Amino acid sequence: MGELPAWVDAFPELRDIEDPVWVDVANYATEAVLPPGSEVFHEGDVCRNYIFVLEGATRVYKAFESGREMVLYRVQAGETCSITTSVLLAGGLYPANAVTETECRAVLIPANDFHKVFDTCKGFRDYVCTVFGGRIRDLIMLLEAVTMRNVNVRLARWLLDNGSSAGLVEASHRELAFELGTAREVISRHLREFQKNGWVALSRKNIELLDIKALLELVGGYR
Amino acid sequence: MGELPAWVDAFPELRDIEDPVWVDVANYATEAVLPPGSEVFHEGDVCRNYIFVLEGATRVYKAFESGREMVLYRVQAGETCSITTSVLLAGGLYPANAVTETECRAVLIPANDFHKVFDTCKGFRDYVCTVFGGRIRDLIMLLEAVTMRNVNVRLARWLLDNGSSAGLVEASHRELAFELGTAREVISRHLREFQKNGWVALSRKNIELLDIKALLELVGGYR
DNA sequence: CGTTTCTTCGTGAGTTAGTCACAGTTGGTC
DNA sequence: GACCAACTGTGACTAACTCACGAAGAAACG
């Protein structure tokens, strides 16, 4: 009878579930396209939907009282947001913010439907729990990164992880500070240091990785 | 037929569930008593049991590569451990450590049984998810505390929160550093500063809060 | 009781990170 | 071209962390 809609193909763990409740909810779900920079949720909001991201990337971050902000993680295509899951399962209000970085195509499942499927459909439940549980480990690792105060190491790692295959990073110092939970000036100084060493070339909103080997060596022990 | 064992009374949300699977598992569960200082789990362990703490308190902490350690949270009587939940639901290995601080009485539910009840019994599932979801918020708050680097404010808050009604805190500087994720010397210096101000009196492993009003004022804006 | 050992606590010197204030640069827009 | 906004560079200062060492107290042991 019911067939799963095409968007579920992006989620292998959910594609083969034949539970009619799930099929029904999946078909009823609304699809949305958000332009880059849209606010997906904001601290203090109530949560109305479970969100599957089909295309694009969304940044989840916490704004601290001091005015500093820090990226907690990203939700990429084919993923779901753990904080949303947490709020749906445990109740309460959103404890962080999320903004689309690129244009995002997403599917929204109303909270009621989410709970209905979660209660009846083991496959769906397993998926949700797995994604959710994995994020606690990520947060603990983030905690480790923040308490260990080698910003230069973390910066080098970030550049290596996020540079294009050609060794290019398009990001302002402010954005990098935001990523690493530190201050813009600190990033500027470390980048200048890298530049002095001949490891990178700097221009406006642009960092070229010249000596990847040296950067890797700096990152060295820190995985 | 089956009755729930007495220990479930410590968990109001679970006491009224009549699901036979749950009743069965609850009765089959083994009770354990751990002396203070026992290791409950260790980073890298696989998880074999879901744990209900009936009496006592357990400290869950992360040991960083730098040698520093940091308390993530405590599991008190009547609670369960979110990291254990996370590992059971998402798989993988324990990402942190736990040690009993006082003698602990606990009930262990084998992983298989946990999954069985989790799948069949909505009441149990709701309980597990609620406890679990709440901890993400705690971790984010911890992240905020660590990045905002007013150790004196955090120290004052900790002393106020954890002092006895008589205003006494029994803890070494090393333990306090551990609690706040900072270095022992930093704690020592701030305490000496507090002492100079006449806010506390210091002796070995012992801090007496003399001027609670002043400490509260220092904590002030920070909730 | 005296000696040894372990933990706690105090402190100074040097390094790294964060804050504040301000100035120079670049790119886009009208 | 003028203007505005965002990006970048820098100096001075403060806070926190690290390292190194020493002193004082508690516990263990003969």
**Nucleic acid strand C within 7 Å of B10 CB:** no
Write out the two tokens for B159: 């002393």
Name the amino acid, one letter, at A27.
N
Q: What DSSP string describes B83-114?
A: HHHHHHHH-S---SEEEESS-EEEEEEEHHHH
Contacts of B210 (CB under 8 A, 6+ apart): B167, B198, B199, B200, B201
Contacts of B22 (CB under 8 A, 6+ apart): B4, B14, B117, B120, B121, B123, B124
On average, the pLDDT of chain A sits at 92
Write out the two tokens for A179: 């990523």
Q: What is the pLDDT of residues A168-182, one digit of tens each?
A: 999 999 999 999 999
Strands A79-80 and A206-209 turn out to be unpaired
Determine the Cα–Cα distance for residues A163 and A150; give it in Å rounded to an integer: 20
CA distances from A214 to A166, A167, A173, A211 (A): 16, 13, 21, 6
Q: How much is the average pLDDT of B114-139?
A: 91
Q: Residue A177's pLDDT is what? A: 95
Query: CA angle, corner A86, sides to A80 and A87, nearest 5?
Result: 105
Q: Residue B68's pLDDT is what? A: 84
A95–B147: do the CB atoms touch at under 8 Å?
no
Q: Residue A50's pLDDT is what? A: 97
Is the pLDDT at A223 greater than 60? The verdict is no
Three-class DSSP category at A104: strand
Report residue A14's pLDDT band, with 50, 70 and 90 as the boundaries: very high
Report residue B146's pLDDT band, with 50, 70 and 90 as the boundaries: confident
- Look at A7 and A37; give whichever has higher pLDDT: A7
- Determine which of B97, B131, B143, B219 to mutate to test the interface with A (most A C-beta atoms within 10 Å): B143
| Chain B residues in contact with A82 (beta carbon < 8 A) | 136
Contacts of B88 (CB under 8 A, 6+ apart): A133, B47, B50, B111, B114, B115
CA nearest A149 in B: which residue? B66
Q: Compute how many other C-beta atoms are within 10 angstroms of the C-beta atom of residue B100.
A: 21
Q: Residue B67's pLDDT is what? A: 81
Q: Which residue has the tokens 């979801």?
A: B133
Question: If you ran DSSP here, which 8-state letter would residue A46 be given?
Answer: P
Q: What is the pLDDT of residues A47-81, one digit of tens each?
A: 999 999 999 999 999 988 878 889 999 999 999 99
Rounded to the nearest 5°, which phi and psi values hold at B182?
-130, -165
Is the pLDDT at B1 greater than 60? The verdict is no
On average, the pLDDT of chain B sits at 92
- Determine which of A140, A153, A154, A157 to mutate to test the interface with B (most B C-beta atoms within 10 Å): A140
The contact set of B with A (CB < 8 A) is 62, 64-66, 68, 70, 72, 82-83, 85-92, 95-96, 119, 122, 125, 129-137, 139-144, 146-148, 181, 222
Q: What is the pLDDT of residues B66-102, one digit of tens each?
A: 788 899 999 999 999 999 999 999 899 999 999 999 9
